[in-house]
Structure 1
Amino acid sequence: MASHVIFLQRRTHRAGAQTCLARLLRHPSMQKWRPVLVCEDEGWLAQTCRAAGVPVIVNPFPGARTLAGRLWRNEAFAGQVASQLRRLGFHPQLVHANDHWDALLALTLARRLHTPAAVFLRSPGMRAEDYDKYGCREFDLVIAVGDELQQRVQHWDMGRGVLLIHDGLEAAEQCPPKPRPAQFPPKVLVLGSPLDWKGWADLTEALWLLQQAGHLPALQWDFTGDRPDPARNNLRLERLSGGQFRFLGRVEQFRDLVRQYDLAVQTSWHESFGMAALETLFAGVPLLSTRVGVIEQVLESPAFLVPPRQPQLLAQALRRLMSEWGTLDAGVEKAQQLIRARFLIDQTVDKLQRAYEETLGLLPA
C-alpha cells in the first residue's frame, strides 16, 4: 500500500517558507514519498504544487494556540483533514509542519493519523518560549534550516539531535550575471517586507545620513512589500527630500522582478537562511546585504556586506558603492558557483530523505 508524507503550510502567498517548500515538494526525488500539501487557501503555493502534480488539500486552519483551538478546533481540523485523506485514498506515514507556526496542528493531526511528526524551524526570531509553546519538543524529527538557528535550538533541547538541513535553489533558476552599468544604478530593489526586523527603517536612516552629508542622489528605491504601518515600523520618509520610494506589494514572479534591477539591498536584522538574498545573486544581480543567514557562505565581496542594525555603516557602504561603482567587484559569479556547490535543492532532498529513513525508520512508498 502506497504511503504519503503530509506537509502542513497554512499561508500560501509567495514568501520564503512557501517557495522553499514548493521546490522541495516538486523535486523528482521527493515524488517517491508521495507528498501531499495541506494549506488554507488556493494561493500561490497551492497553485504551484498542483501544477507540479502534488496533491493539495485546502482546509481552514484554526488559531492553534487560542482557547477555542486548544479546546476543540485543533481536533476538528485534524478530523476534517483525516477525512479528506481517507476520501482521496491517501495513507499517511508522516506529518511534516513547514514551520513552528503550524506545529500544534501537525502534532494533533499526527496523533489522529497515528504517524510520526516532523517540523522545519524557519523563523529567525524564534525564542525558547516559542519552541515550548508550539510543542516542538514533542516532535519525532526537528530540522532547522539555518546554522545559527540550529545552534540555538540545540541549546534549548539538549537531549535531542536537532538536524541542520539548508534550503536549496533549483539549478535551472540560475541566470547569467547582468552586465554592469557604468554608473551607480538609478533604481534599487529593497528586499524584505514591512516587518520591522527586515530593517527597512535602517535603510531609510542610512539614506537620511547620506542626505545630511550631501551624498544622496535622487534615486528610486523599490520595496518588495507594502508600505509599513508607521505605528509598527516608521520609515520616516518625510525626512528624505530627494528620490522616489515605491512599495510594490507582494510579488510572485520574484526572479523576473529582480532582473529589472542592477542592485538589490537586504537590510534584515537576522535571517534563518535568507532565501531572497540567494535568489537575487542566483538571478545574476549584485546584492548589498547585512551579514545574516547564510549570505557570508556565498558572498565574498566585503564592500557588499555590512553588519545588521548599523545604519551608519550601511550609509558608508552605500556611499562607497556610489563613488566606486565602476571598480568594485560585486562577486556575483563567484557567489553563483558557491550556491551551486552548497545550496541546491538536490542536496536538501538528499539530506531530508536520509533523515526520514535513518531517524524515523521510514521507507518511501
Structure 2
Amino acid sequence: MQHRVIVLGAGYTGATAAGRLARRLRREDVAITLVNAEADFVERVRMHQLAAGPELAPRPLAAMFTGTGVTLKLARVTAVDADRGTVTVTGERGTAEELPYDTLVYALGSGGHDQGVPGVAEHAHDLAGRPGALRLRARLAELAAGAPVVVVGGGLTGVEAATELAEARPDLNVALAVRGELGERFSAKGRRHLRAVCDRLGITVHEHTAVTAVAAGHVATADGGTLPSAATVWTAGFAVHPIARATTLETGENGQIVVDRSMRSVSHPRVYAVGDAALAMGPGDKPLRMSCASGIPGAWQAADAIAARLSGGKVPVTPVRYFQQCVSLGRRDGLIQFVTADDRPVDRALTGRLAARYKEAICKAATWGVAHPLLVPGRARRVVPGEGGAVGAEAVGTAAV
C-alpha cells in the first residue's frame, strides 16, 4: 500500500512541503494529498500591495502541481484526530469527509489577531489573507480625497501597509499608530530611512500610542484621545489557526504545535508542523518568528526529514538562522535590515530603490519555488516498508533566512 501523506494548507509552507515531498519520494510509494480551502495560491506577502493596487495575477494550485503526483483537494479542514490519524474536511458542496493519513503535515498558518480590542472584528480591516485585502481595497475605492486612514501596528506588516497605501493614494491622510518607537526593530540607519520615507509620503506617525477600541469613524487610544479613521487597517499581530489547540497535540500557549528540530510533533511522531503553526526553536533558544522567512526553511526541513525517515536514511536537521529582514516601502523604496542569527539588527542596512528590487526578488523567488516543485534538486527515494516512525541519525547543517 502507498504511504498516505496529507498536507493541510497550501500557503508558502504547505505548498512548499508538498512539492518537495513529491520530488523526494517515488510516486508509486506515496500518495500525497494537499488540502486547501482556495483554488489559487495566495502570495500573502503581497496582500498590502493587493489592497492598494490592481488585482494580482492568479496562480491556480492545480496548474502548479500538474505532473507532480500531488492530489489537490479543495476543502476546509474542520478537525484533526491525531490519535486515530484522521482529518475531517468539508468539501465545496458542504459534505463532510474523513481522510486517514500515515503522515500529516500541518500548515494551516495564521490569521489576524484582534488582541481582545473591542470593535476590531466589526470595524477594522486585516491583511492576513486575500478576502481581507479585497475588502480593504473596496473600502479605499469608496473614500474621497482627504479621508483619514489609520494603520494600527508598527511591525513589518503595518509599515508595509502604511507606506503602500500612502504611495498609491496620496490624496488620503494616512496615519500609523505604533505602541513604541517607529522602526524600533531596526538599526539607527534603518530607523532614519523609515522615518524619512514616512515624511516623504506624508504619513502621520503616532508613536507610543496604544489603540484600545475601534469604531466606525475613529479609533480610541489609551491616553483617552481619538484618531479619526474612515478605514482602519489592523496589523497588530497574528493568531494561529485554532484547530491544533482542540486536538491532543502538544501546543504552546498561543496554540502552535510544539516540534523538534526536524519539525516533528514532540507528542505525535506521525505529525509535522510548519510555518506559523509550528512552535520551533531557533538560535539563542528563541522561538522562530511567524514569517515566510522562517516557514519556508521549516518546510524544507520537514519534507527532507519525512523522506529520510520513510526511506530509512539519515535525517538531516538544518537549524534555521536569520540574515535579514526585507521590507517594502511602497513600489519604489525598501529597507533590507541585516540581522544576527537570532534576528537582532546590526548596523548594516540597504535602503532605497535597490532595496525595493532586492525585496521584489525575494518575493518572486519564494513564489517560484512553490510553482516549480519538480525543479527542486535531489532524487526520488524508495519508501522502505515499515519505516517512518523511527528516528535515524542526524546530519546537521545551516539554513539561511
TM-score normalised by L of structure 1: 0.32
Structure richer in strand, relative to its length: 2
Identify the structure with the greater helix proportion.
1
TM-score (norm 2): 0.30
Higher relative contact order (CA 8 A, sep 6+): 2
